A and B are shown apart, each in its own frame.
Chain A
Amino acid sequence: MNKQIHELSVVELLRGLEDKRFSSVEVIKHYLDRINRYNGELNAFLHINEDAVKQAEAIDKLIASGKKPLGIPIAVKDNFLTVGMPTTAGSLVLKDYHPRYESTVTKRLLDAGAIIIGKTNMDAWAHGSSTETSQYGPTLNPWDLGRLPGGSSGGSAAAVSAQLVPVAIGSETAGSIRQPAAWCGVTGFKPSYGRVSRYGVIAMASSTDSPGPIARNVEDAALITSIIAGADPYDATSSTKEVEPFRELLKRKDLKGVKIALVKEYLLPTMRAEVKTLIHNAAAHLESLGAKVEEISLLDPKYSIGVYTVVMRSEVSSNLARFDGIRYGHGRARFGDEAKRRIMLGTYTLSAGYYDAYYKKAMTVRTKIVSEFENTFKDFDAYIGAVSPGPALKLGATKNEPMFGEMEDILVEPSSLAGLTSAGVPCGFVDGLPIGLQITGAQFTEAKILDIANLYQKSTQFNKFPERYQK
């Protein structure tokens, strides 16, 4: 039986466009129709590109002339500046804000011939792991409409999971790609810090912010990462290391010679037994593919919460100081509670008399985390653990939890603080809800991590999409 357009991966869509089985216009119209049908209940998209069909027509002309533009729709988190479409970062401070320049990530996608079909919902300013702090209402989880999609890139993850788009762009400060991907049962890929330009991304914590894809599978994530990665003169922290053709490098048929660490401390005492079992199952599966898996011990991740909270909130207070409502946007009274909490704590930890006790202390523990990983990767190719301690939580879970995001992302914060690269892939279900596995490697080992994650994914059967949105 022929698959419907929304059941195809990016790689399959590209093949279909090349073989003239469908046009870019047909693909775009198919997805616009699905967005019209389902976005009302999911609230995954904040804005839809009204010119998408027109842009697809131009792409079809390019295809007819023998060129090979991507021609596929892509959803972009609403903290990437896009000319011609509003950009709000999920906040009322930027309601109706229209950027005057394009982010490097979206510019590279447009140059490659992708069509930005819409902008996706997110925790306001990317502050959170639920999408519940969006000032435009929460996004719902396609697996269970009573639950949260995770965040902060919750709209992007829900859109891919409900098959409203074949691939989406998210951004991660600590977990904001991998955690919503895990809760929505799709693939999230966090490139190393500096691998993908931050230019034109509304900053959260500049020392860890990393844009990356949320996709149907690892292969698509690899393809998109190669397009968006690479040095950018407009982001001084972007790396000049050459970008590899990550998709072409997905070659492994087994994991012989690969050493993987299973981090004991990441199997949290508070974690449900079913989640631990899934992680042990994943370890056993990697072993069956030929990898050598060994248990190791790292610094208790609870300390990463403290480090991350101080580093991130300090940088947030500085980054959000520029939103004064004078040059663009609205006044600071429009900030929601979560942004206010973070700005204030960061202001406090950076202020005279407290700087040494909090900010400097946190940055020193950060050094410990970084060097511990450096040692780990002398012996291991990657480490594994759960992305999140459990499956998607119910709507309202963030209420009266002033550190919800930081607590929820305990298992991914260490890797973000050290700027590592990491793939999040589905590894099973608990209560019918997806659970994510992280496969994390040293900085700039994207090719290796994607290759391992791709083989894991292709040899397991956890990559599923929710029933409700199949048709």
Chain B
Amino acid sequence: MAKTIITTDDVAKVGILANLPLTEDEKKLFADQFSMTIDVVNQLNEIDTKGITPTSQVNHLENVTRPDVIDDDRVLTQEQALSGAKNTHQGFFVVKQILEKDSE
């Protein structure tokens, strides 16, 4: 298999998807390291996996459910829930605006 080349543009794009602020130096560093890692991962292509089902869970549990009732032991008070937030407003978390005010 051909060597996978990861460019700084690829890294920048993944950085946006992953919501990670990256400096130009970091983009360069990570592009090289990214390619090295992908090379190791590409060794998996030496193994024939035709017809094999993927495994995502190893202890054979399926469809684990719980009764649909509120467990008071697990509920944080509003005060507790907000206690770690830097920015709150009238009992709510303040988040970044994601919609334009006058869009469409």
Contact = CB atoms under 8 A, between A and B. Distances in A.
Interface of A: 97-98, 100-101, 192-194, 207-208, 233-234, 236-237, 239, 299, 302-303, 305-307, 309-310, 317, 321, 324-329, 332-333, 335, 337, 340-341, 343-345, 347-349, 351, 358, 360-368, 370, 402-403, 406, 417-419, 443
Given A306-B41, A347-B18, A341 B59 contact: no
Contact of B43 (A306, A343, A347): A306
Given A101-B74, A193-B58, A368 B49 contact: yes
A236 B45 CA distance: 33
A367 B11 contact: no
Nearest to A317: B18
B59 A303 contact: no
B86 A344 contact: no
A207 B54 CA distance: 13
B15 to A, nearest CB: 7
A332 B20 contact: yes
A305 B38 CA distance: 11
B54 A367 contact: yes
B30 A306 contact: no
Contacts of A340: 20, 22, 26, 30
Interface string B83-96: 11111000001110
A94 to B, nearest CB: 10
Given A302-B43, A340-B20, A347-B18, A326 B56 contact: no
Contacts of B37: 309, 341, 345, 402-403
B101 interface: no
A395 B19 CA distance: 31
Contact of A366 (B20, B54, B86, B93): B54
B95 A326 contact: yes
Nearest to B42: A306
Contacts of A317: 18
B40 A305 contact: yes
Interface in B1-51: 10-11, 14-15, 17-22, 26, 29-30, 33-34, 36-38, 40-47, 49
Contacts of B22: 340
Contacts of A309: 37, 40-41
Contacts of B95: 326
Contacts of B66: 233, 236
A365 B42 CA distance: 12
B55 interface: yes
- For the complex of A and B, the 8 pairs showing the least CB-CB separation, nearest first, are A328-B84, A363-B54, A419-B58, A402-B33, A364-B49, A236-B64, A194-B59, A347-B18
Given A100-B76, A341-B33, A343-B18, 4 more contacts: A193-B59, A324-B19, A349-B41, A418-B58
Given A193-B58, A340-B20, A344-B11, A101 B40 contact: no
For chain B, which range describes its interface: under 10, 10 to 19, 20 to 34, or 35 or more residues? 35 or more
Contacts of B15: 344
Contacts of A325: 86
A368 B54 CA distance: 9
A367 B55 contact: yes
A358 B44 CA distance: 9
B14 to A, nearest CB: 5
B47 A367 contact: no
Contact of A237 (B11, B41, B57): B57
Interface string B68-86: 0001001010001101111
B44 A344 contact: no
Given A100-B80, A236-B64, A361-B44, A344 B55 contact: no
Nearest to A236: B64
B103 interface: no
B58 A370 contact: yes
A419 B45 contact: no
A259 to B, nearest CB: 23
A326 B96 CA distance: 9
